[in-house]
Amino acid sequence: MAFDIAIDGQERTADILARKPDLTVSLGDAVYPLIYSAHAPEEFEIQIAGKTYKGFRYATAEEVHVRLDGRTFVVELPRFGGGHGAGGKQDNEIRADMPGTVVSLHCKEGDEVTSGQKLLTIESMKLQISMVAPRDGVVAKLPVAANTTFERGAVLAALKPV
Amino acid sequence: MLKKVLIANRGEIACRVMRTCKRLGIASVAVYHHEDRNAPHVAMADEKVQLTGQVPTQAYLDQEQIVAACKATGAEAVHPGYGFLSENAGFAKRITEAGITFIGPDPEVITLMGDKIISREFAAKHGIPVAPSAKQTGTIEAFIKEAAAIGFPLLIKASAGGGGKGMKIVRKTEELEENIRVAASEAQRYFSDGRVYAERLVDMPRHIEVQVLGDGKGNVVHLFERECSIQRRYQKVVEESPAPNLPAKLRDEICASAVRLCAAAKYKNAGTVEFILGSKGEYYFLEMNTRLQVEHPVTEIVLGLDLVEEQLKIASGQGLALKQSDIRQNGHALEVRVCAERPEKDFQPATGRVGVLRVPQGEGVRWDGGIREGQAVTPAFDSMLAKLISYGPDRATAIGRLAGALRDTVLLGVPTNIDFLSRIMANPVFKDGKLHTGFIKEQGESLMPAPVPAATEAAVAVAALTITDDFQASAFHTPEPYASIGAWRN
């Protein structure tokens, strides 16, 4: 059974190749026999090729955060329906990472825009942030008017091909 | 000494003030909004009073409720921390009129220093260097002409502002008008005061600030300098004391300027005078913060002082216990601000829940935090979660200890800048102490994450996948025949 995941946005496929004598997992083309243990739900210990990887993890609603070797990794898993690799429709939509207010719109529906062009300015957590076009296109939708609040995940702008 | 103090704040600074109160035998009163009911500052206080408000920040800004809380608990004094009401002259006045001691300067001094234009004029009048500038006195159109006359590059700021809000850099005439208009509208939104001013920008400047203590009668001592040049979005990220590679003569001159300003203002309380320092040793007054700073711990550590204790002594009328000649720097201290944000996405603030928290320990390491496991990080408050501070006999040791402490910190559930801070500590230019406020932009690429070794990535994948039922079932619970089939049946 293969698992399509993304580590810090990099797509990877993991698979279980064997359970005995050691649990053997592949990640991409590489194969890793390993020993896994967990003393507490948030702690893990994994041995690979004689090296011990000891760390912490925490599952949010959307992803798993893993702390290992002084670094935090964000892992998207299939069960969370993570956004990675979705492509197509999602690439056309610019969504809010957090709740906020639209301060001003710098374009209108039907405008042709180029990659990196400022579409609108929002304010979240007391900071003003410019939302830019991820690629060239035509503004198909600007669903949130200026001085209007929005929730996390709301579509702030949508593009369609020129 | 005071007997009971209400802390009109939340988070790490409320905890910080209470620690000193506790040590000095002063009772503490916490105020809190319902959303903070499980926050550490509420648990730590001797007494607590709930404040109500439509949104949480409104509660902490509600002067009448805070006065009522003082009356209800018998608190004789209010410590405002930083942010919220700490630099609100109206609040200082209201508190004083209610017969309560405001732990801070007199309202008139807050007003004087709170206005960027008036404070600059005051500084210039007392012989403190200020950068060439233009202020908006009439229409925005007239101001655009005056600003252009100073020459570029220019910095456009909100007159009533702070924290970089409403601040713009303009390098060309054709960008001037739009930037001034945007800055004015942001200034109006943030500070209800749309006036802006422009000043000559010092390219690649250092941010040097001087900690002072004043008794309100014109007696002022300085507690040396801090360097806060590592910034993003005009907000400080790394602070340290002493400033690296700063000639002693120049340092003494800057500190003397700060003392002169505060003596002239008859400043009372702990305060900070901020300067920008150019590459040729030219320095200009930036602003004064009439409160305890976020980064005060680095000064405390190198001087062996407790600044909150000094504030409490001054507020209780004991005056200045310190003589300038008694104050000496010893060793080096660094502080980093741990924030809920995404450095890879232009430091956008992030939200979430503190799922796992392991605070670093060890020699020369101090964690000033106000968060606990299970706590939600919402857009309601500032994105700073904690401060991590390190000390060493020299700068290299302090950097090494901070790097180790960052590595040991576990804070999962909300995106943070912890790993970004680790990469700053590892940066060779930072280690050399070649600092300026454009450091993060300049070092851009080298502050990005390094590639991950393949085996580490595999461990990360397994650590994440083992929490899912599907993986668990396939890896550990499936009867053997099916599991072995599983390997090849796909």
Cβ atoms A41, A53 nearer than 8 A: no
* Across A81-104, average pLDDT: 65
| Nearest CB neighbour to A58, from listed B413, B460, B465 | B413
Mean pLDDT of chain B: 93
Catalytic-role residue among B226, B251, B291, B366? B291
Query: In this predicted structure, what is the pLDDT of residue A79?
Result: 55
Query: In this predicted structure, what is the pLDDT of residue B5?
Result: 98
* Across A67-92, average pLDDT: 68
CATH of domain A2-80: 3.30.700.30
Tell me which residue of B59, B93, B62, B95 sits closest to B76, measured CA to CA: B95
pLDDT over 50 (residue B434): yes
Tokens of B462: 């397994």
pLDDT over 90 (residue B208): yes
State the Cα–Cα distance between residues B22 and B73, nearest whole angstrom: 17
Domain boundaries, chain A: 2-80, 88-160
Q: For chain B, which domains are there?
A: 4-103 (3.40.50.20), 132-200 (3.30.1490.20), 206-447 (3.30.470.20), 454-489 (no CATH)
Kindly report the pTM of this predicted structure: 0.81
Strands B4-7 and B77-79: parallel
Domain A88-160 has CATH 2.40.50.100: yes
What tens digit of pLDDT does each residue of B50-64 get?
999 988 889 999 999
Neighbours of B139 (CB within 10 A): 9
Non-local (6+) Cβ contacts of B451 within 8 A are: none
Cβ atoms B252, B222 nearer than 8 A: no
Query: In this predicted structure, what is the pLDDT of residue A16?
Result: 94
- Judged by CB atoms within 8 Å, which residues 97-126 of A form the interface with B? 97-100, 103, 124-126
Whether B356 sits inside 8 A of A32 (CB atoms) is no
| Nearest CB neighbour to B379, from listed A41, A74, A125 | A125
A-B contacts (CB, under 8 Å): 175
Query: In this predicted structure, what is the pLDDT of residue B280?
Result: 87
Q: Which residues of chain A make contact with B382, given a CB cutoff of 8 A?
A: 125-126
The residue with greater pLDDT, B163 or B354, is B354
Written as one string, the DSSP assignment of B15-70 is HHHHHHHHHTT-EEEEEEEGGGTTSHHHHHSSEEEEE--SSHHHHHT-HHHHHHHH
pLDDT over 80 (residue B407): yes
Helix B116-125 vs helix B107-114: angle between axes, to the nearest 10 degrees?
A: 100
State the Cα–Cα distance between residues B142 and B164, nearest whole angstrom: 24
pLDDT over 70 (residue B403): yes
Q: A2-6, A53-57, B36-40, B187-191: which has the minimum mean pLDDT?
A: B187-191
pLDDT over 50 (residue A89): no
* Across B376-401, average pLDDT: 94
A46 close contact with B: CB closer than 8 A: yes
Query: Is B16 part of the annotated catalytic residue set?
Result: no
What tens digit of pLDDT does each residue of A109-152 get?
999 998 878 899 888 776 778 888 888 889 999 999 988 888 88
ipTM summary value: 0.83
Largest CA distance in chain A: 62
What tens digit of pLDDT does each residue of B281-312 get?
999 999 999 999 999 999 999 999 999 999 99
Sorting pLDDT into bands at 50, 70 and 90, what band is B478?
low
Instruction: Please state the separation of Cα B430 from the chain's center in Å.
Output: 20
B234 close contact with A: CB closer than 8 A: no
Whether A44 sits inside 8 A of B463 (CB atoms) is yes
Using CB atoms within 10 Å of the CB of residue B479, give its burial: 0 to 12 exposed, 13 to 18 middle, 19+ buried: exposed
Q: Which of B188, B416, B467 should one mutate to test binding to chain A, selecting the residue with the greatest count of A CBs within 10 A?
A: B467
CA-based nearest distance A140→chain B, Å = 25
